[in-house]
């Protein structure tokens, strides 16, 4: 008779090889089964996806465009999770960042000199996300209200509020019924590079990753965040004001997600319109955990996920498969990570015992 025993490991950890072995490869195998189920050759499908994302510079530039908001939201989730706060509300904060940035671009262009427009748009986008995270942050910090629920609920409110704006008061009068605001003045457009759609947002996102890395590793404040995340008891003992830390971290997290919305409206759409809330906020959760909450790993993971999305679109045009198949792959990867997380904490020992 074979007896299994689940034991807690002495040392818990997550190495890159483990993630690859336990999460990515099983996900690819499950994906292959799905491809076969819809009647496609999995090898050909994966080849098309890969070439669609990384085959040439043009396709890769589109991956970078997709990765830009994902870096921001991934970073937002990772920062909060380092303090054991679960910011599921990046989607709503992204939308609010978009709303604030659009408001600034649309209604303050006559007050702000052109060269200062982009800094102002960035600031207001950050502020928008931060504002949207503020109430859940206060509820959590003061009364221990579960932030998973509040931030999630706030997503729906934000989306409906945005729809109200572009269907109602902010709608472009010349737009012939198109749900969206008027196009921003050119001063609010993010500069684009290399004759592609790669825009300023990507560089701001990467700079944010590096800045956050430095803050977490090299500053006293970063040290306090780490301590609070590792042990509330020790944090309280050492005199850290946990209430303030939680509020600060959650609003910065919200602000980063707000920048994702800003870079979408000012870098790609150039107006506030339908199609801003397409799930980048939720993708951020996957990215943060795949990156092991390390800010420097976030851009790479975001590019991989961006490749998955862009490659998924190629499946649609080439193989006439539904592009949502990339969502299925995404979900499979997340589930595989959750499962592999179990193996990073526990080991299964096979005990043999004669009955």
Q: What's the token pair of residue 24?
A: 């990515």
Q: Is 208 or 276 the residue whose CB approaches other proteins more closely?
A: 208
Closest CA to 44 of 339, 315, 345: 315
Residues at the site binding other proteins, with contacts judged by CB under 8 A: 218-224, 226-227, 230-231, 233-234, 236-239
**Spatial contact of 320 and 326, defined as CB atoms under 8 Å apart:** no
As measured in angstroms, the least distance from the Cβ of 90 to other proteins is 26
Task: Return the number of the residue (44 or 142) whose C-beta is nearest other proteins.
Answer: 142
Nearer to other proteins, 50 or 213 (CB): 213
Q: Which is nearer to other proteins, 9 or 164 (CB)?
A: 9
User: Do 63 and 310 meet the contact criterion of CB atoms below 8 Å apart?
Assistant: yes
Cα–Cα distance list, 139 to 13, 78, 125, 243, 279 (Å): 32, 20, 23, 10, 25
> Shortest distance, CB of residue 12 to other proteins, whole angstroms?
9
CB 17, min distance to other proteins, A: 21
Smallest distance, other proteins to C-beta of residue 219, A: 5
Task: Compare residues 231 and 317 and give the one whose CB is closer to other proteins.
Answer: 231
Pick the closer one to other proteins by CB: 169 or 239.
Answer: 239
Nearer to other proteins, 12 or 317 (CB): 12
Residue 135 burial (CB < 10 Å; 0-12/13-18/19+)?
A: middle
Instruction: Tell the smallest beta-carbon distance from residue 80 to other proteins (Å).
Output: 19
* Minimum gap (Å) between residue 299 Cβ and other proteins: 24
Torsional class of 21: left (φ above 0), alpha (ψ -120 to 50), beta (otherwise) = alpha
Q: How far is the CB of 226 from other proteins (least distance, A)?
A: 7
CA distances to 120, 161, 203, 244, 245 from 103, in Å: 11, 13, 23, 29, 30
The answer to whether 330 touches 283, Cβ cutoff 8 Å, is yes
Q: Which of 180, 207, 334, 151 is nearest to 264 (CA)?
A: 180
């Amino acid at each position: 008779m074979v007896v299994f025993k689940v034991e807690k490991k002495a040392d818990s950890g997550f190495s890159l090889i483990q993630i690859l072995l336990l999460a990515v490869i099983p996900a690819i195998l499950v994906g292959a089964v799905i491809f076969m189920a819809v009647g496609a050759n999995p090898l050909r499908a994966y080849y098309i996806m890969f070439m669609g994302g990384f085959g040439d510079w043009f396709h890769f530039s589109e991956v970078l465009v997709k990765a830009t908001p994902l870096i921001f939201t991934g970073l937002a989730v990772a920062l909060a999770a380092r303090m054991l706060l679960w910011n599921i509300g990046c989607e709503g904060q992204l939308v609010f960042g978009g709303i604030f940035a659009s408001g600034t671009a649309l209604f303050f262009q006559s007050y702000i000199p052109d060269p200062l427009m982009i800094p102002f748009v960035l600031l207001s986008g950050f502020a928008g996300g931060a504002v949207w995270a503020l109430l859940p942050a206060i509820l959590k910090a003061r009364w221990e209200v579960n932030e998973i629920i509040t931030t999630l609920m706030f997503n729906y409110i934000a989306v409906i509020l945005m729809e109200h704006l572009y269907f109602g008061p902010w709608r472009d009068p010349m737009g012939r019924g198109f749900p969206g605001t008027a196009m921003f003045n050119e001063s609010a457009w993010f500069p684009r590079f290399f004759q592609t759609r790669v825009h300023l947002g990507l560089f701001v996102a990467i700079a944010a990753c590096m800045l956050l890395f430095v803050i977490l590793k090299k500053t006293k404040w970063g040290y306090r965040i780490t301590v609070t995340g590792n042990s509330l008891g020790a944090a309280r003992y050492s005199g850290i004001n946990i209430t303030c830390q939680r509020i600060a971290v959650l609003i910065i997290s919200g602000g980063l997600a707000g920048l994702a919305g800003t870079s979408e409206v000012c870098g790609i759409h150039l107006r506030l319109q339908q199609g801003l809330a397409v799930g980048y906020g939720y993708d951020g959760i996957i990215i943060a955990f795949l990156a092991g909450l390390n800010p420097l790993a976030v851009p790479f993971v975001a590019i991989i996920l961006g490749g998955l999305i862009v490659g998924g679109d190629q499946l649609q045009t080439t193989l006439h498969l539904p592009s949502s198949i990339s969502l299925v792959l995404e979900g499979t990867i997340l589930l595989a990570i959750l499962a592999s997380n179990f193996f990073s904490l526990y080991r299964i020992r096979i005990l043999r015992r004669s009955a």
